[in-house]
């Protein structure tokens, strides 16, 4: 802390000294200008006095004695602020002294400007030119050449129209951008890096000793460090670059390798991994809709079977195949019995008109037959409509109602089953239309010339950054000095 304080005090003292020096130089220049003005005034007054003098022998008052002239010549360089009267010093000698002093001041100012310019040039060389030259030497002499394999991909559907599945359409919809971003994230993910290293030795490839120290992956690098090296960051570009052109719907892929063959091999592997992802997600999306439709069909089929079993159970309970035909037969029998009963009643009435003996033997078979048929008629009516007693056998009407309800359920489940089948067919057709796959438009190829690192662009970038930093530093220091001098 004491040393820092002493440095600050020394710097403040130097600033104060410079400010005092500037004030002295400004005062000397102002005094020299004022003296020149006074001399011009005195010369004009002397000429006016000479013209008005009666005797031309009196110019001795304007001449300076030799002792005064010698003293002025000796002190002219050191005493520019002396104001000699017109009778004390000759104007020519005073002007010469002032000119000598001004020349000395100008020379000092030129010397300081040269020193300042040399200092700025030296600082510019130290902070800008030398670092830029070192970077240029490294890139052109030490940096390892690397090769870039370029390829292009697009999403394609199985139909001519734009698909609407998980990957959307590539006719400018928002889904296409999301799908391409998802594919980009997967290509730059850690999963891809691990698969590349497991299948093709990606990490060992970039840890080769032939690569220069700046561009080489450290031998003891962790997986996270390798992923940063793979995907890149703010300062160092990655070895894999993927971008999406929304205007054309093309995904562009650039893969870097130390050799052309390695760059091509890595690019082909990354494309195959991306195709696997697209196929897996596409299959999952397609199967979700189809499986749901199939589940609905299975449920509707079970409901239909239950309804059919219910109809069969009711028919077994009635011991008939058709309730309508059985009910019609009962009604026919009832009508027949009613007609026979009417005939018996008419016969009994006719006998009563013939004989008045109620115990006539001819009444007995007619009455017996009437009772039997009446009992049969009652049983048939009970069997058809029921007698309303609780706990009794169910009537034909009740069983017919149950059978009708069972048949309604059967018809409903049949419609649901038909609808489920239609939905399944639609889902299968939609899945076929929405099927997408990743098509490689530009296949990866082994490059002939190295394109990385971009030496000229990197050197120019370093120069611009250093130059901007240098200018900002100069402006900051100048502003600080100006504030301190106030």
**Using CA atoms, how far apart are residues 180 and 154, in angstroms rounded to an integer?**
9
- Asked if the model's pLDDT at residue 468 lies above 70, the reply is yes
CATH architecture for the domain at 147-293+437-453: 2-Layer Sandwich (3.30)
Average pLDDT over residues 230-255: 86
Q: What is the pLDDT of residue 467?
A: 94
Q: What is the pLDDT of residue 327?
A: 65
Q: What is the pLDDT of residue 466?
A: 94
Q: What is the pLDDT of residue 50?
A: 58
Average pLDDT over residues 306-325: 67
- Asked if the model's pLDDT at residue 38 lies above 70, the reply is no
Is this structure's pTM higher than 0.75? Answer: no
Task: Give residue 403's pLDDT band: very low, low, confident or very high (50, 70, 90).
Answer: low
Residue whose token pair is 């001004």: 102
Structural domain boundaries in the chain: 2-139, 147-293+437-453, 300-432
Q: Render the burial of 106-144: b for 16+ CB within 10 Å, e for the rest.
A: eeeeeeeeeeeeeeeeeebeebbeeebeebbebbeeebb
Q: Are 214 and 139 spatial neighbours (Cβ–Cβ below 8 Å)?
A: no
Q: Which residue has better confidence, 439 or 202?
A: 202
Q: What is the pLDDT of residue 193?
A: 92
Q: What is the pLDDT of residue 341?
A: 83
pLDDT more than 70, % of the chain: 69
Q: Which residue has better confidence, 255 or 308?
A: 255
Rg (CA), the chain: 59
Task: Give residue 461's pLDDT band: very low, low, confident or very high (50, 70, 90).
Answer: very high
- Asked if the model's pLDDT at residue 265 lies above 70, the reply is yes
Q: What is the pLDDT of residue 75?
A: 42
Neighbouring CB atoms inside 10 A of 348's CB total 15
Q: What is the pLDDT of residue 61?
A: 39
Bridge partners, residue 157, by sequence: 436
CA-wise closest residue to 39 among 99, 127, 108: 99
Q: Which residue has better confidence, 48 or 313?
A: 313
Neighbouring CB atoms inside 10 A of 319's CB total 7
Q: What is the pLDDT of residue 320?
A: 55
Strands 147-157 and 240-245, bridge-based pairing = unpaired
DSSP assignment of 298-360 equals HHHHHHHHHHHHHHHHHHHHHTSS-HHHHHHHHHHHHHHHHHHHHHHHHHHHHHHHH---TT-
- Asked if the model's pLDDT at residue 355 lies above 90, the reply is no
Q: What is the pLDDT of residue 90?
A: 58
């Amino acid at each position: 802390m004491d040393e820092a304080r002493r440095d600050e005090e020394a710097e403040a003292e130097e600033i104060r000294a410079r400010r005092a020096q500037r004030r002295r130089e400004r005062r000397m220049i102002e005094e020299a200008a004022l003296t020149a003005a006074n001399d011009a005034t005195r010369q004009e007054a002397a000429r006016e006095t000479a013209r008005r003098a009666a005797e031309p022998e009196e110019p001795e008052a304007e001449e300076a004695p030799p002792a005064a002239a010698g003293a002025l010549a000796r002190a002219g360089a050191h005493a520019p602020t002396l104001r000699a009267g017109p009778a004390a010093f000759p104007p020519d000698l005073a002007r010469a002294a002032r000119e000598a002093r001004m020349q000395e001041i100008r020379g000092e100012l030129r010397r300081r400007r040269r020193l300042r310019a040399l200092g700025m040039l030296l600082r510019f060389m130290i902070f800008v030119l030398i670092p830029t030259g070192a970077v240029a030497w490294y890139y052109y002499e030490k940096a390892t050449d690397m090769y870039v394999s370029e390829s292009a991909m697009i999403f394609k559907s199985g139909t001519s129209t734009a698909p609407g599945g998980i990957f959307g359409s590539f006719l400018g919809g928002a889904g296409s951008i999301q799908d391409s971003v998802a594919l980009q994230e997967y290509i730059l993910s850690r999963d891809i890096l691990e698969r590349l290293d497991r299948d093709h030795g990606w990490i060992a490839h970039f840890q080769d000793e032939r690569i220069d120290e700046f561009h080489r992956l450290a031998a003891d690098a962790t997986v996270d460090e390798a992923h940063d090296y793979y995907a890149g960051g703010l300062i160092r570009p990655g070895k894999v670059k993927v971008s999406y052109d929304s205007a054309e719907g093309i995904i562009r892929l650039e893969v870097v390798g130390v050799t052309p063959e390695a760059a091509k091999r890595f690019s082909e592997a990354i494309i195959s991994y991306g195709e696997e992802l697209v196929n897996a997600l596409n299959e999952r999306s397609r199967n979700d809709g189809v499986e749901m439709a199939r589940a609905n069909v299975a449920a509707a089929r079970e409901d239909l079977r239950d309804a059919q079993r219910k109809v069969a159970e009711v028919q077994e309970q009635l011991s008939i195949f058709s309730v309508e035909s059985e009910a019609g037969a009962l009604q026919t029998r009832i009508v027949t019995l009613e007609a026979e009963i009417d005939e018996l009643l008419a016969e009994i009435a006719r006998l009563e008109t013939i004989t008045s003996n109620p115990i006539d033997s001819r009444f007995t078979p007619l009455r017996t037959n009437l009772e039997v048929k009446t009992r049969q008629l009652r049983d048939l009516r009970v069997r058809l409509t029921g007698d309303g007693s609780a706990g009794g056998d169910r009537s034909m009407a009740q069983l017919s109602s149950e059978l009708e309800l069972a048949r309604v359920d059967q018809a409903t489940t049949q419609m649901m089953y038909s609808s489920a089948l239609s939905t399944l067919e639609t889902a299968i057709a939609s899945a076929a239309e929405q099927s997408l796959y990743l098509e490689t438009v530009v296949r990866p190829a082994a490059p002939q010339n190295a394109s990385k690192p971009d030496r000229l662009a990197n050197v120019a970038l370093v120069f611009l950054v250093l130059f901007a930093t240098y200018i900002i530093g100069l402006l900051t220091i100048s502003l600080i000095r100006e504030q301190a001098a106030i």
